[in-house]
């Protein structure tokens, strides 16, 4: 009877432990990236009353007789299944799609988490719950260096502003319509061109297009006083004048003899710009590409456009940071008011051979143990392990309420049944004591 009572006590203990785990799971049903746990039981050593014996010619074999001594907690496992996605539209909220953990660090060392609720701290670095989010930084050429991880600087002084770029390339494109009456006037058909110098100052130029009946060509002219600064002041520049002819199929004639700037490729240059802020120095030289002009019967549509920012020499004013975004590979890009972008760093992940072997340390954080594997100090590009990062989204808890409530019912009944063992054993002991009367 004492054995059964102690077995019942062990049953109460393990079911109470399981109820504690269930309660913690339910409490964290809305905790971002929380990983639920489960409890498994095993039996305690059994007392052998009689050993087994093999069969003989005269008698059959006999099985062992054993009495179990109760149950024990076999394991409390962390379930590392991926939680559902919750859209937040916060660009610094990041969800891991696939395996891996974010790496964060404070004075105590590295920790690991699946919860990507990041923010920018007062120092301008990417942070999580008072810890630095670790990743890779770009070099001076904007190339990510996949070396030892470091904190990611988001709003450092060098990232708050985007430097201006001078315009070096411009396109004159569209269609010239021979029936446009303005082509035969004294002022011609006028279009406006906009461009920047190396300090980000804006200039506009009036480009005149007139038909030259003598040479059967169309003249594009920048008069010496055609360029104005932001205040409307005239900027000194060299006279620019080029005649454009077309072939029978309506395409521009690129005969080398007609192009002084870059013969055969339809490019001329604006040179000699100057402004007070240059201290008398020569301003930008701008290549103008005419090669896409056409001479079709489809209306007058000539326009001047700059190249795409610094890539094609379009130029840009100075800009301030207006926001950021995180790509699927973890690269953090800053957007600036002048339309430019800048690579600020890359959020990395790390994987473990046995992620269930990690130890929870609170705050949605894990730490390594001797059975989890270790962090190599470098990390991985999420795309290199077949996953991706999803910006503006958080991973939800992987707690399954239907399973937790079902386990709660069976655990309660198990606890109740074990309490009955103790009650019944007590009643039997009472009867035994009453034999004396």
Specify whether 185 is located in the same domain as 287.
yes
* Residue 233 CB partners (closer than 8 Å, separation 6+): none
pLDDT of residue 437: 64
Look at residue 358 and tell me if it is in a domain. yes
Specify whether 419 is located in the same domain as 372.
no
Instruction: Summarize the confidence of residues 135-142 as an average pLDDT.
Output: 89
In the chain, % of residues over pLDDT 90: 49
Q: Which of 211-215, 294-298, 361-365 has the lowest mean pLDDT?
A: 211-215
Instruction: Summarize the confidence of residues 387-413 as an average pLDDT.
Output: 95
Query: Measured between alpha carbons, how far is residue 39 from residues 25, 44, 270 in Å?
Result: 12, 16, 77
pLDDT of residue 276: 43
Judge contact between 379 and 134, C-beta under 8 A. Answer: yes
pLDDT of residue 309: 53
Look at residue 297 and tell me if it is in a domain. yes
Question: What tokens appear for 248 in the block?
Answer: 């029978």
Specify whether 130 is located in the same domain as 158.
yes
Is residue 279's pLDDT more than 80? no
Specify whether 236 is located in the same domain as 125.
no
pLDDT of residue 271: 64
Specify whether 218 is located in the same domain as 265.
yes
Judge contact between 389 and 26, C-beta under 8 A. Answer: no
Specify whether 141 is located in the same domain as 186.
no
Predicted TM-score (pTM) of the model is 0.76
Mean pLDDT, the chain, as a whole number? 86
Is residue 382's pLDDT more than 50? yes
Judge contact between 344 and 118, C-beta under 8 A. Answer: no
Domain that includes residue 157, residue range: 85-162+320-395
- Number of structural domains the chain divides into: 3
Specify whether 156 is located in the same domain as 261.
no
Of the candidates 10, 108, 124, 126, the one whose C-alpha atom is nearest the C-alpha of residue 68 is: 10
Q: pLDDT of 180-231, one tens digit each?
A: 999 999 889 999 888 887 778 888 888 899 998 888 888 888 776 778 888 8
Q: pLDDT of 67-115, one tens digit each?
A: 878 889 999 999 999 999 999 999 999 999 999 999 999 999 999 999 9
Other C-beta atoms lying within 10 Å of the C-beta of residue 201: 21
Look at residue 131 and tell me if it is in a domain. yes
Other C-beta atoms lying within 10 Å of the C-beta of residue 265: 13
Look at residue 55 and tell me if it is in a domain. no
């Amino acid at each position: 009877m004492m054995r059964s009572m102690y077995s019942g006590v062990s049953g109460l203990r393990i079911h109470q432990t399981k109820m504690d785990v269930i309660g913690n799971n339910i409490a964290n049903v809305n905790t971002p990236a929380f990983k639920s746990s489960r409890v498994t039981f095993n039996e305690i050593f059994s007392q052998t009353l009689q050993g087994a014996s093999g069969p003989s010619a005269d008698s059959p074999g006999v099985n062992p007789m054993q009495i179990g001594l109760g149950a024990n907690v076999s394991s409390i496992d962390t379930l590392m299944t991926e939680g559902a996605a919750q859209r937040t539209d916060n660009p610094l909220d990041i969800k891991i799609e696939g395996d891996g953990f974010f790496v964060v660090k404070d004075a105590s060392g590295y920790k690991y988490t699946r919860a990507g609720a990041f923010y920018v701290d007062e120092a301008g670095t990417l942070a999580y719950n008072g810890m630095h989010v670790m990743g890779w930084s770009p070099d001076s050429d904007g190339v990510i260096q996949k070396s030892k991880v470091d904190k990611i600087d988001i709003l450092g002084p060098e990232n708050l502003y985007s430097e201006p770029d001078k315009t070096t390339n411009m396109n004159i494109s569209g269609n010239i319509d021979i029936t446009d009456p303005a082509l035969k006037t004294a002022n011609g058909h006028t279009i406006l061109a906009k461009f920047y110098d190396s300090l980000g100052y804006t200039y506009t130029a009036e480009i005149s297009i007139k038909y030259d009946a003598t040479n059967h060509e169309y003249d594009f002219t920048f008069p010496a006083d055609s360029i104005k600064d932001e205040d409307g002041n005239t900027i000194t520049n060299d006279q620019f004048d080029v005649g454009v002819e077309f072939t029978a199929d309506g395409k521009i004639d690129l005969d080398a003899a007609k192009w002084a700037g870059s013969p055969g490729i339809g490019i001329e240059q604006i040179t000699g710009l100057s402004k007070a802020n240059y201290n008398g120095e020569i301003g930008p030289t701008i290549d103008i590409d005419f090669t896409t002009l056409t001479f079709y019967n489809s209306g007058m549509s000539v326009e001047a456009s700059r190249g795409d920012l610094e890539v094609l020499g379009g130029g840009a004013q100075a800009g301030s940071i207006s926001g950021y975004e995180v790509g699927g590979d973890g690269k953090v890009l800053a957007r600036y008011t002048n339309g430019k972008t800048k690579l600020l760093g890359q959020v990395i992940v790390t994987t473990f051979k046995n992620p269930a072997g990690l130890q929870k340390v609170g705050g949605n954080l894990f730490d390594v143990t001797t059975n989890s594997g270790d962090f190599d100090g470098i990390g991985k590009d999420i795309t290199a392990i077949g996953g991706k990062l999803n910006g503006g989204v958080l991973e939800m808890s992987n707690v399954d309420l239907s399973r937790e409530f079902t386990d709660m019912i069976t655990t309660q009944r198990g606890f109740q049944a074990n309490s009955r063992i103790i009650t019944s054993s007590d009643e039997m002991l009472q009867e035994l004591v009453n034999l004396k009367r």
